[in-house]
Amino acid sequence: MVRAVREHLAAIAVGPTTNVPDAESDTWLDWPDPHPGAPIPALLRLRAAFGLTGFEVAVLALCVAHELDAAIGPLCAGAAGDPERAWPSFALALRAFPGADWEAVAATGRLRAWQLVAAERRFGEPLLLAALRCDERVLDFVKGLNRLDARLAPMVDAIAAPDGELPDPAAAAALLRLWEDGRHAGLVSGGEPALRLDIVAAVARTTGRAAFRIDAEVLPTSPDACEALARLWTREAVLLPLVLVVTAGGEEAATVRRFVDRLALPCAVCTDSPAPRELATLPTILVTPPDGAAQEHAWRVALGPGREALVARVAGTFDLPQAEIFRIAATAPPGEEAAWRHCVTAMRPGLDALAQRIEPRLGWDDLVLPPEQRGVLRQIADQVRQRRRVHDDWGYAARLSRGLGVTALFAGDSGTGKTMAAEVLAAELGLNLYRIDLSAVVSKYIGETEKNLRRLFDAAERGGAVLLFDEADALFGKRTEVKDSHDRYANIEVNYLLQRIESFAGLAILATNFKAALDSGFLRRLRFVVRFPYPGPAERAALWRGAFPTAVPCEPLDFARLAGFNLTGGHIVTAALNAAFLAAAEDAPVAMRHVLQAARAELVKLNRPILAADFALPTDLPARAAE
């Protein structure tokens, strides 16, 4: 091709050519004779893909040859009759090639609209004399380097198609029919975000295309910029080829619709249900997430035979698409408990960015509570373990539309053991525990709180995590009187949170110091309410005994006397820790004087009355400690 351009320009430089092809011919470019199995030249593929005329192909060939052969520049100057213009131009092309028309020169023509070539005009220079440059991405394509445009690569992530069966065959078939019918844009909603992406990537693979995901937040809002980006992506889909997947929320719906309406390539918009109004008129494919039986089957296949107990445990805890199940199972170690911990750990990345993870280190022996409260906590653990059997196998999920989540309110003064109880439950169930800071979730921007909560609950349901909403009365208090639009949206956000808690498939715990401040309607929607009483003398004595790890060197301590101080378990733990530091500073065992000094500091911190006699060191300490 380069040789043909060089010879053609050389002939024009000598004088007018007599062997002129017809207007739509580009046979002078000396294409090889096609035969079965032979690769099609890149320029011919571009001609077919973009519907180029013979003249437009010649212009593109001239620009490509100029980039590849240094001899083309002087030949351009000779053919143009101007030694100062050693580059391709429309003026040269109009003189050199037959079949010219002004549409090929215009900005809306195929060459410039698809950014195959660009006219680099200097100030005051006519368009016909401007230097023409072949776009670098197109030049790479002609050279056989077919890779994603460097301007587009930072905007997208490649999506790997899942192995094995399609996650939702019906949804995949519907999307494939949509593209085959020539309707390029489809709305894929429902199910988990990862499941939607798996389906689009799987369908893209069946059509021989790669799938790339672009977030709606990076799309330009300017109509002109949106049009330019859409054309660039459409060109890229022809060159690569590819499918573009736009992940959208409600805030960017108008921008997304403007963008996909300008695309001329297979694409999909993935969003949660219900779809925003601007996107609802797109052809919709509703994804049905795999039910419990399908997930259990996938776990059984992925983990292999002889692991039925582990299969039942993970299938009843996690809510994952098939591709994620196979990814996690592929690296699971042998042994049920080790494999279980591996699965639990694999769920952390999705939640660690949204909430604070608490590592459960406490067991039932560390929990000092009356028998009634301990019994309710064990009942909560049993319901989490058995929810798959009761909901699915026994038919309650089909009968009840709400209230399937295990929800509990832990109410009591600060330091009475609410967070500790949540740790004990998470340790008993072998699950991740996450504490949610409601001040970080609630946003001053309207609609952002719901978005944050959706991300949180979606990730928690996938990973089977235990959620602890601390200081719940801050958001779940008595409903706000509507005085302005922000109050109205605040109530909407609380209602949304209540709905998600009720439908949450895992365990959601709400902790509050002020049960009376909570809305009565909210309390009725909780399955368990556990009151954490202020510890009495017997409970405080037990808390003091458990506050010092076995490795701490201790002199005999008068736990009965220490139990007389009106402190909760949290304050007792703090006092014991401070006493250990006092003893370590003296390089001595923890003695009663250290503990009394630390307990006194806690009472002062709480603004409690202090009696000097309570902190005097008794002379009968060994005798009292023996009691």
pLDDT tens digits, one per residue of 195-209: 899 899 999 999 999
**Structure tokens, 170:** 């019906």
Identify whether residues 138 and 161 lie together within a single domain. no
> Do 385 and 528 belong together in one domain?
yes
Q: Given this model, what pLDDT does residue 626 score?
A: 40
CATH of the domain at 512: 3.40.50.300
Domain termination residue (choose one: 238, 270, 286): 286
Q: Taking the chain (627 residues) in consecutive chunks of 10 residues, what is each chunk's mean pLDDT?
A: 73 54 49 55 86 89 90 87 87 84 86 91 88 92 90 92 78 92 88 86 92 92 91 90 87 89 90 80 87 84 89 87 84 89 87 87 90 94 88 81 80 89 94 81 61 82 88 62 46 72 86 73 81 92 92 93 92 94 95 94 89 73 42
The number of distinct structural domains making up the chain is 5
In a domain? residue 556 = yes
Same domain, 522 and 541: no
Residue 351 in any domain: the answer is no
Q: 148 lies in a domain?
A: no
Is 124 in the same domain as 197? no
In a domain, 353, yes or no: no
322 and 392 in a single domain? The answer is no
- Looking at the structure, tell me whether residues 505 and 551 fall in a common domain: no
Same domain, residue pair 13 and 139: yes
Segments forming the whole domain that contains residue 190: 153-286
State whether 279 and 336 are in the same domain: no
Q: What is the pTM of this model?
A: 0.65
Buried b (16+ CB within 10 A) or exposed e, 242-254: bbbbbbbbbebbe
Among 286, 302, 330, where does a domain finish? 286
257 and 329 belong to one structural domain:
no
Question: Would you say residue 436 lies in a domain?
Answer: yes
Residue 297 lies in a domain: yes
Residue 507, pLDDT score? 92
- 229 within some domain: yes
What secondary structure, in 3-state letters, does 384-450 show? HHHHHHHHHHCCHHHHCCCCCCEEEEEEECCCCCHHHHHHHHHHHHCCCEEEECHHHHCCCCCCHHH
Q: Is 164 helix (H, G, I), strand (E, B) or coil?
A: coil
Last residue of a domain, one of 346, 367, 392: 346
Sign of CA pseudo-dihedral 272, 328, 171, 259: positive
Position 168 in a domain: yes
Q: Does one domain contain both 518 and 593?
A: no
**Spatial strand order in the sheet of 433-436:** 356-358, 433-436, 466-469, 507-512, 406-412, 528-532
Q: Are residues 195 and 232 in the same domain?
A: yes
Same domain, 442 and 406: yes
CB 302 within 8 A of CB 330: yes
